[in-house]
Amino acid sequence: MILLATAAFADAAVVRAVVDRNQATVGESIALQVTIDGGKGEVDLSSLTDFKTVSRGTSSSFQMINGRTSRQLIHNFALIPLKAGNLNIPAIPVTIDGRIHYTTPIGVTIAREPPADSGQRDVYVTAEVSDPSPWVGQQMVYTFRLFNAVQVADAKFQAPEFNGFTAEEREDRQSHRTVVNGREFIVTDVVFILVPIKTGTLEIEPAVLQVGMLQRNRRPRPFSGMDAFFGRSQMTTRILETDPIAVHVKDLPPRPPGTSFSGLVGRFEIAASLDKTALQVGDSTTLTVTLSGTGNIMDTPEPAIPAPAEFKAYADNPETQIQPGPQGYSGNKIFRTALVPVQPGRYRIDPVGLTYFDLNTGGYRDISTSAFDVTVSPSETASADIEVFRGTPLQTPSLKKRVEFTGRDILPLKEGLEALKPQRSLPPLWFGFFMAIPVLVFLAARTVMQMAQKDHSPGRIMADRATQALKSAAPDDSTDGDFLSALYRALVSAILGRQGVMGTSLTWSEASDQLLKIGWNAADATAAARLLEEIESFNYSGDRLNEEKRADLMGRTRQAVRRLAR
Amino acid sequence: MKRSLLTAAILALLLAVAVTAPATQNQNARTFMDGTEAYRNGDWPAAIAAFESLAESGVNSGKLFYNLGNAYLKNDDLGRALMWYERALKHIPDDPDLRFNYEYALTLTKEERGEKESPLLRILFFWKYELSPSTVGWIAILLNAALWIALSILVVRKKRLLRPSVVLTAAATVIFCATAAFNYVEPIRVRYAVILTEQAAVRSGFTDTATQLFVLHAGTRVRVERETDTRLLIRYTEDKIGWVKRSEAEII
């Protein structure tokens, strides 16, 4: 049956929702199409809480009616009802260009499925466990079965979590045919071997299988008569779930006093063999202990070998041959131990024993091997010392055992109050700051050093000399000779320094020329040259200088030196 | 008058800070000891409450986070245990107790690591994995200072003998500076989260009815690609990506 719902809003008639049928059973899928006329839109299915929704992609089509073209965008979904009853597909919001349009709600009737053993279902699944009340550690078989009377495809299996169990799937999935209520089904088994590790009531969650089923088209389409003729069909998706299974795991009864329980639960036998019973000192013989049976045989601990104190024992890595079968794990585990006598004599190797929990009797059972009598004679080679036999470095590694955990737990708390000391990370800004400090210090130091470096050019030296000479002329108690010599040195040094040459004397004409060269006007150059000549003449004439003249000469010389220093 | 009032106010403020800071420290110490006592007595929820109140009050310590991981692990909350161990690893990656307990907790997870770190990278860049970001930062700062001091000596003394040591110091400085910079950038660019709930459905969209793509279990570490107010877009492996509820995973 086709149900066509037009859009609720009269202005648009742009969106509509269509389902391929409005009656189905739980687990069957219903095809939903949301059609948008003339544009793109976002379909929001979050309000469909009674269904699991699976997108089936989009398709588009063009129509031309009376010369006008229109475009349709169709969003396809598969709806899988999650419960039985009269369910409602509410108005689905579709956002087109920022405006929300709604489809019309659709009602669908979902019926419960007929019983699995009625044979009326085309496809169904079951799950069972081999023992709903196992002992803790007892292996059990969980079997998931798919019954299909019609062709299925694209099966996707989601196993339960098996919380509280260790689980391993048997690799071979087998199929066979069976008849249920007169109808033939193909049955596919998926088998897990479970071992409960907790006691109490444990629930195995439903296993889920999603399958595609080929069905004839139910929707009328253009040329549907041709579909019928060609027998066309379409794929529908079904989600199948098993019922949850409650497993009551029993704790093992208290152990009898004095027994050492191996942890094995199942049915086991033990046997042993010794390859040589007559030995010489230093020879080795191999004791082979074989444990076989059904149960958690892989967990068998290494048995204690009751070798006499005059024997050295070297255990080899155990060999396991375990296969998962219809009843769970079965096989054997072989322990080989090399025994080396160090003293001659007659010895007895006691039986190797083991205690396990027997499922047949529901109690603990002790099993043991037979004892062996061994005769050890002195070594024929006189030099054969047991110390030599003990060990070349090449043999030792094969005899050493790998240390295994005998128990697992975490290391204790950190109880010191330093645990409260906050560990603040260095902020990036501070990191950059600390990184920049040495660079800045380096650059600053280098700049200062460059600035502090002395200028050793002739001009600088002569200018310094001029300054020094002026300073030495300044004291009032200097003799006239010293005073005049200092003024002469200051003036000559200043003139030569300005030229960038070294020297100690100048004639007045040379001084005048030098000053003209550096840009002084003729009057100033002549005045400075005359000052030089005047100083020189006072110096050589020996006339005494009064204070007024000293001040005059000093002032004029200082003025000239300062001008030259600029 | 005004100046004396201001002085009195500043003194009162300093006194208040001086009095309240030790009081807070004492309170924290008491809470911490209560937590360790509860842990010793097997009262894991009480230990968790005590340690978590310290963490929420701003105590940012790798050892405290380690204790929280232990308490959660004992309380059979594998997801939160691994989340706190991961947080502790950021502070004290070289702590042997932490590494042992973390490795043990990893054996209890149901999934194997999605994004596996290359063992070769761990060998080549061992300092990145063995030293905390803070330690790497300080080493970079010290090396940088040593480098510029050596350069200064080289400039002043002009001794050729110093040049090889300067080159070596420069190389070490570059390596540690680059690592420190990477450590600053990495948490911003790459974030991880840990699945907290027993199992979390990773879906193709924001709604609970969106298709379930795959399921992750408690303790699995995933990379966070994007986040909204209610959901995280997570990547388990290159080909497994989807949305989980924020309540089901927490960013490390």
CA distances from A158 to A202, B40, B44, B128, B205 (A): 19, 42, 35, 41, 20
Residue A6, pLDDT above cutoff 50: no
Q: Which residues sit opposite A54 in a β-bridge?
A: A78
Q: Name which of A163, A412, A423 is nearest B61 (Cβ-Cβ).
A: A423
Residue B47 has a pLDDT of: 93
Contact A244, A265 (CB under 8 A): no
Share of chain A above pLDDT 90, in %: 4
Q: Residue count of chain B, please give it.
A: 252
Q: Which residues sit opposite A336 in a β-bridge?
A: A288
Residue B58 has a pLDDT of: 84
Question: Which stretch of DSSP H or E encloses residue A117?
Answer: none
Residues of B in contact with A426 (CB under 8 A): 134, 137-138
**Fold of domain B2-107:** 1.25.40
Strands B221-227 and B191-195: antiparallel
129-188 in B: which are within 8 Å (CB) of A? 132-134, 137-138, 140-141, 144-145, 147-149, 151-152, 155-156, 177, 180, 184
Residue-wise pLDDT tens digits, A512-560 = 888 888 888 888 888 888 888 888 888 888 777 888 888 888 999 989 8
Q: How far is B130 from chain A (nearest CA, A)?
A: 16
Residues B81-110 have a mean pLDDT of 89
Write down the ipTM of this complex: 0.74
Task: Inspect the interface and report whether the beta carbons of A426 and B137 lie closer than 8 Å.
Answer: yes
Residue A223 has a pLDDT of: 42
Q: How far apart (Å, rounded) are the C-alpha atoms in residues A347 and A196?
A: 44
Residue A392 has a pLDDT of: 46
Measured between CA atoms, the residue of chain A closest to residue B145 is A438
Residue B79 has a pLDDT of: 93
- For chain A, which residues lie within 8 Å of any Cβ of chain B, measuring from their own Cβ? 45-46, 48-49, 51-55, 161, 163, 408-426, 428, 431, 434-435, 437-439, 441-442, 445-446, 449
Where residue A382 falls among pLDDT bands split at 50, 70, 90?
A: very low
**Fold of domain A116-248:** Immunoglobulin-like (2.60.40)
DSSP, collapsed to helix, strand or coil, labels residue A535 as helix
Ranges of beta strands (E only) in A393-502 are none
Q: How far is A556 from chain B (nearest CA, A)?
A: 45
Question: Which stretch of DSSP H or E encloses residue A295?
Answer: strand A285-295
Cβ count within 10 A of residue B28: 18
In eight-state DSSP terms, residue B190 is -
What is chain A's Cα-based Rg? 55
**Fold of domain B191-251:** SH3 type barrels. (2.30.30)
Residue B46 has a pLDDT of: 93
Residue A265 has a pLDDT of: 87
| Residues 6+ away with beta carbon under 8 Å from A331 | A292, A297, A320, A321, A322, A323
Residues A201-211 have a mean pLDDT of 87
Q: How far apart (Å, rounded) are the C-alpha atoms in residues A104 and A91?
A: 5
Measured between CA atoms, the residue of chain A closest to residue B217 is A161
Residue A340 has a pLDDT of: 86
**Hey, which of A297-301, A384-388, A419-423, B44-48 has the most confident mean pLDDT?**
B44-48
Residue B50 has a pLDDT of: 92
Residue-wise pLDDT tens digits, B223-250 = 998 888 888 999 988 888 899 998 899 9
**Fold of domain A458-565:** Four Helix Bundle (Hemerythrin (Met), subunit A) (1.20.120)
Residues A501-507 have a mean pLDDT of 83
Contact B32, A419 (CB under 8 A): yes
Find, among A257, A244, A213, the residue nearest to A80 by Cα: A213
Residue-wise pLDDT tens digits, B65-80 = 999 999 999 998 999 9
Measured between CA atoms, the residue of chain B closest to residue A49 is B209
| pTM as predicted | 0.41
Residue-wise pLDDT tens digits, B195-223 = 998 888 888 888 888 888 888 889 999 99
Mean residue pLDDT across chain B: 84
Residue A383, pLDDT above cutoff 50: no
Residues A379-395 have a mean pLDDT of 49
Residue A228 has a pLDDT of: 45
Residues A465-481 have a mean pLDDT of 84
Residue-wise pLDDT tens digits, A116-132 = 777 778 888 899 998 88
Q: How far apart (Å, rounded) are the C-alpha atoms in residues B85 and B63?
A: 10
Q: How far apart (Å, rounded) are the C-alpha atoms in residues A243 and A127?
A: 7
SS (HEC) of A127-170: EEECCCCCECCCCEEEEEEEEECCCEEEEEEECCCCCCEEEEEC
Q: How far apart (Å, rounded) are the C-alpha atoms in residues A215 and A121?
A: 14
**Fold of domain A261-399:** Immunoglobulin-like (2.60.40)
Residue B10, pLDDT above cutoff 80: no
Q: Residue count of chain A, please give it.
A: 566
Q: How far is B221 from chain A (nearest CA, A)?
A: 20
Question: Which stretch of DSSP H or E encloses residue A181?
Answer: none
Residue-wise pLDDT tens digits, A259-292 = 778 888 888 999 998 888 888 888 888 899 999 9
Where residue A300 falls among pLDDT bands split at 50, 70, 90?
A: confident
Find, among B111, B110, B105, the residue nearest to B86 by Cα: B105
Residues A441-451 have a mean pLDDT of 84
Find, among A319, A315, A314, A286, the residue nearest to A300 by Cα: A319
Q: How far apart (Å, rounded) are the C-alpha atoms in residues A442 and A451?
A: 14
Residue A226 has a pLDDT of: 47
Q: How far apart (Å, rounded) are the C-alpha atoms in residues A474 and B119?
A: 83
221-250 in B: which are within 8 Å (CB) of A? none
Residues A243-253 have a mean pLDDT of 89
| Residues 6+ away with beta carbon under 8 Å from A281 | A341, A342, A343, A344, A376, A377, A378, A379, A384, A386
Residue-wise pLDDT tens digits, B122-153 = 788 888 888 888 888 899 999 999 988 888 88
Contact A90, A48 (CB under 8 A): yes
Residue A210, pLDDT above cutoff 80: yes
CA distances from A65 to A16, A68, A69, A70, B166 (A): 19, 5, 6, 8, 84
Residue-wise pLDDT tens digits, A44-76 = 888 888 888 888 888 887 777 676 777 788 888
Q: Is A164 left (phi over 0), alpha (psi -120 to 50) or beta?
A: left
Q: How far apart (Å, rounded) are the C-alpha atoms in residues A444 and B140?
A: 22
Residue A27, pLDDT above cutoff 90: no
More confident residue, A107 or A458: A107
Where residue B100 falls among pLDDT bands split at 50, 70, 90?
A: very high
Architecture of the domain whose range is A3-111: Sandwich (2.60)
Residue A393 has a pLDDT of: 47
What is chain B's Cα-based Rg? 24
Contact A103, A43 (CB under 8 A): no
Task: Inspect the interface and report whether the beta carbons of B152 and A442 lie closer than 8 Å.
Answer: yes
Residue A103 structure tokens: 């489809």
For tokens 């004396």, the residue is: B4
Mean residue pLDDT across chain A: 81
Residue B70 has a pLDDT of: 93
Task: Inspect the interface and report whether the beta carbons of A46 and B207 lie closer than 8 Å.
Answer: yes
For tokens 């009376």, the residue is: A66
Q: Provide the residue ranges of all domains of chain B, joining segments of one domain with +.
A: 2-107, 127-189, 191-251
Q: Which residues sit opposite A280 in a β-bridge?
A: A377
Give the residue range(s) of CATH 1.20.120 domains in chain A: 458-565
Residues B80-90 have a mean pLDDT of 92
Q: In what order do the strands lie in the sheet with A93-96?
A: A42-43, A93-96, A99-102
